[in-house]
Amino acid sequence: MSTPHDRPQGGPPVRTEVHGAVLVVVLDRPEARNAVDEATALAVDAALTRLEDDDALRVGVLTGAGGVFSAGMDLKARARGESPVLGSTGFAGLTRRRRSKPLVAAVEGWALGGGTELVLACDVVVASREARFGLPEVTRGIVAPQGGLVRLPRRIPRAVAAELLLTGAALGAERAEQLGLVSRLTEPGGALAGALEVAEQVVAAAPLAVSAVKRVLDETADLPEAEAFTRQDALVADVLRSQDAAEGARAFAERRAPRWQGR
C-alpha cells in the first residue's frame, strides 16, 4: 500500500484500494489527524456505497493514514458551518448506515471522539498495541450521539463504559482487547496487515453464510433469547438448504477447499 507521504498536497481526503475482494478505505488527512470534515464524510459515504453495491467486493477495511486512526469531528470545519453527519448514514456516512457486508477497523494511534464512534460502527476491530480510544465529549460540554452512548455499553461492560463516557478518560488498546472491544492486537504499524488478514479469512468463507451471520448479529442483538432464535431461524433457513451448504460438507469429506457458488 502507498504511504501517507504519497498523498499530494490538497489531495482527496479519502483513498480507496482494492485487494482482491477487499475494499480498503483510508482516511487520508494526516495533517489534521484524519479528523472528519464534510468532504471526508462524503468520500467515506461514497466508498461504503461502492462496497455495498459492488458484488465483487465482500469485505471493507477502514483505517487512517499517518499512524492515527481519526481525531473525530473536524472542529475547525464545524466552526465554518460544515457538517460531517450525513442524513440517514450518520457521522462520516458510517455510524448510522445499514450495511450487509462486514467492515473491519484497523486502528493505529488515536481513535478519539467520533473516531471511536467509527470504530464502534465496525464489525471487527484490529488495533496496534499503542492504539488509544476515547470519548472526551463531556469534557467539552457535549455528548457522543453517533454511537458512543449507545454502542459502547453493548461492546464492553456497562460500568466500564459508564466511567469512560462520564469522565472522558482514554482507553488503551491492551485494556480494550481484554474488555472485548478489540478482537486482535498487533505490534505498532501492523494493524492494517492484521485487518487484511481477518478480511481475507472472511472472503474465504461462504458468502451466503457470511451475510446471514452479519444479519443475525445485527438484527438479534436487542431481542430476548427466544425471539432471537426465532429471528435467527428465519434468516438462516435458506443458507442451511443452499448449494453452498452441501458443497461445504462435500469439500470437508473430500479434504479439499470448497468452491462457493453463492447459492
Among 38, 108, 130, 137, the active-site one is 137
**Dihedral angle over CA of 98, 99, 102, 105, nearest 10:** -50
Among 117, 130, 163, 225, the active-site one is 117
Catalytic, 117? Answer yes
Helix H or strand E segment including 236: helix 225-240
Phi and psi angles of residue 153, each rounded to the nearest 5 degrees, phi first: -70, -15
**Rounded alpha-carbon distances, angstroms, from residue 197 to 64, 160, 242:** 17, 30, 27
Residue 23, C-beta contacts closer than 8 angstroms, at least 6 positions apart: 16, 17, 47, 50, 51, 54, 57, 59, 60, 61
Catalytic positions, written as ranges:
117, 137
